[in-house]
A and B are shown apart, each in its own frame.
Chain A
Amino acid sequence: MNQSEVLVNQLKQGNQSGFTALVDLYQDMVYNTALSIVQNVDDADDIAQEVFVQVYLSVNTFKGESKLSTWIYRITVTKALDHEKKKKRKKRFGFIQSLFGGEAEEHHHPVEFEHPGVQLEKKERAAELFKALKKLPDKQRIAFTLHKLEGLSNQEIAEIMNTSLYAVESLMGRAKSNLKKILYNYYSEKISDQ
């Protein structure tokens, strides 16, 4: 029996120390995945909490057909995308409220996200890459993020996204091609302005 199977069994029996060990083992993975997707430190922390609460509450539905890490990755990606949708809805509602004279909540729009783990000399380019990533369709963005930032193989990504290996390869190809187009337009304007 490997470590994750032991942890799952402990969790299913309601063992608190099992849950503590699970959080300790997967917190970096969950937080960094969420951070790469939502590009906000506070939101990523919030999502990490939500993910572990979900893991605790639904561990009995985990049948062990996939790896524990794959299951947790899947929950993280779903929660992060849900979080983004909720945020967009809130923003839209706030905008409509402000049109009718209501007091809309103040929203801060960070201009550029700086990933804390990026090397100093690459920070500017990385910020531009993250900005471009935001413009990709969800599936392409998730595939690219899991590959580039989490270092996962296409096979692992296919398992997380519940799709075929061929589909992931196709998503990766389209993601790179779209990113190049977005970045090309961005740099063209930037150079023209100079």
Chain B
Amino acid sequence: MNKRDKINDLIEQALTSADGVERAVVKPFLLTRINARLNQSKETIWEKASWFIGRPSVAFSGLAMLILINVTVILFNQSEAAPVATEQPAQENMDDFSYTAVSTIYDFENAEPQ
């Protein structure tokens, strides 16, 4: 047998060496290891969430949004609380600022006889 034939024979042997290969056996307790990994992956969802929130871009965007909302709310409230000029009858004003005006329950009860 010359060199070339010998090589071709070895190639053929190699190509057919996997024919009729038997199944390799899985290590025991695969299901237990899978369940452990599943529990671990559930934990990492929260870890991923905290990692995402903790990213500088997300944190700063969130902070900027919070400040913007606060400023908007303050400005909105200020414009609503601006004094509105109303005309009141003169007598009403006098009653309000009058020294003798009765304004509390105590005053009602202890009103001096006139």
A-B complex is real: yes
Given A56-B38, A57-B41, A184-B7 in contact, is the A125-B13 Cβ separation under 8 Å? yes
By a CB distance below 8 angstroms, the chain A residues around B27 are 45
A125 to B: closest C-beta gap in Å: 4
Contact of A149 with B38 in the complex, beta carbons under 8 Å: no
Contact of A28 with B14 in the complex, beta carbons under 8 Å: no
- Specify the main secondary structure of chain A where it touches its partner: helix
The interface on chain B, measured as residues whose beta carbon lies within 8 A of the other chain's beta carbons, has a size of 26
By a CB distance below 8 angstroms, the chain A residues around B24 are 31-32, 35, 41, 44, 115-117
Contact of A53 with B10 in the complex, beta carbons under 8 Å: no
By a CB distance below 8 angstroms, the chain B residues around A27 are 26, 30
Counting chain A residues whose Cβ lies within 8 A of the other chain, the interface size class is: 35 or more
In the complex, whether B81 has a CB less than 8 A from a CB of chain A is no
The answer, among A23, A118, A184, for a CB contact under 8 Å with B30, is A23
A162 to B: closest C-beta gap in Å: 25
In the complex, whether A179 has a CB less than 8 A from a CB of chain B is yes
List residues 37-54 of chain A with CB under 8 A from any CB of chain B: 41, 44-45, 48-50, 52-53
Closest to A126 in B: B17
Q: Interface centre among B14, B20, B22, by most A CB within 10 Å?
A: B14
Residues of B within 8 A of A (CB): 3, 6-7, 10-11, 13-15, 17-27, 30-31, 33-34, 37-38, 41
Residues of A within 8 A of B (CB): 20, 23-24, 27-28, 31-32, 35, 41, 44-45, 48-50, 52-53, 56-57, 115-119, 122, 125-126, 128-129, 132, 148-149, 176, 179-180, 183-184, 187-188, 191
